[in-house]
Amino acid sequence: MPFGPGSLLYESYGDRAGFLFAPATGLMQLMYPALGKGVEEHSAFYEEPFERLVRSVPQILGMIFDGDTADEQAHRVRDFHRDIKGVMPSGERYHALDPATFFWAHATFVDVAFRVDDLVARRMSRTVREAYYAETVDWWRMYGMTMRVVPRSYGDFLEYWDHHVENVLEVTPAAQGLIDFLNQPWRMEQPWLPAPLWKVGSRLGGLPARDVAVGCLPAVLRERCGFAWGPVQAAGHAAFMTSVRLTWPRLPEAVRLLPRARAAYRQQGRTGFEAAIARVSDTRVA
């Protein structure tokens, strides 16, 4: 069991602020060609994107918060992808458990951790980010897959990330479907809400929600995906993120933390994120 009280991941990853980045994260997953093809052929993502999010995220969080059963949870997550395979348009075969493909999905969850840190002003130092990244490597190791695809350090991870954003991600058919959904959500009714309510709610909130999602994308991907983005959108996004940064830490934990994290803290205890950071900093100094 690699995580528990005092672990950086355990003390921080259950923050609901990560959901602000979920649409951008999902889009970057779909822009990885093999992953996008798997979703296109094996998922009902566009009929139920929110249900898919609710189903998948808690299972992955279980690897961090489920204590003695975390390894079993990791194997369940991995094995769920065994039958997701097929043929790319080029004729090359793809498989969700291809290490490079599966690691890209993992990398997007790693990226979210650092984005949330930036958003809520936790201000992890470079030393702490190195330690945090090392824990995400242990997180990957729980899947029982090869380590050859894993960047060795935080700096290597940043190079890996930039390379994929610049040179690998593309507007796959699956990604285009999500782009269309973000641009016109009212055209894709969701089964969990009556159609009249969806039509009204998606028109009132859909485009502001799109701008939050688009603002969380790297600039090069906003352009690649064809999103309109100018000074007005940029200023609105910056103002919204500033309001979150100022108010989010002041909200009760019952609002900020996901149920799986709260349950783990009740059962296993916690040190708090600041204490975890201090421990890492003291260890590196010593």
Q: Where are the domains of the chain?
A: 8-285
Q: Which residue has the tokens 């998922």?
A: 43
- At 209 the pLDDT is 84
User: For position 208, what pLDDT does the model report?
Assistant: 83
Cβ–Cβ under 8 Å, residues 146 and 167: no
Asked whether the beta carbons of 141 and 17 are under 8 A apart, the reply is no
* Cα distance between residue 266 and residue 101, in whole Å: 35
- pLDDT value at residue 200: 65
- Token pair 């940043």: residue: 158
The stretches in the chain having pLDDT less than 50 are: none
* The model's pTM: 0.90
Residue 215: the pLDDT is 95
Phi first, then psi: give them for residue 87, nearest 5 degrees. Answer: -125, 130
3 state SS of 3: coil
Strand locations in the chain, DSSP E? 85-87, 93-95
Contact 197, 204 (CB under 8 A): no
CA 71 to chain centre: 20
As a 3-state breakdown, the chain gives helix, strand, coil percent values, each rounded to 5, of: 70, 5, 25
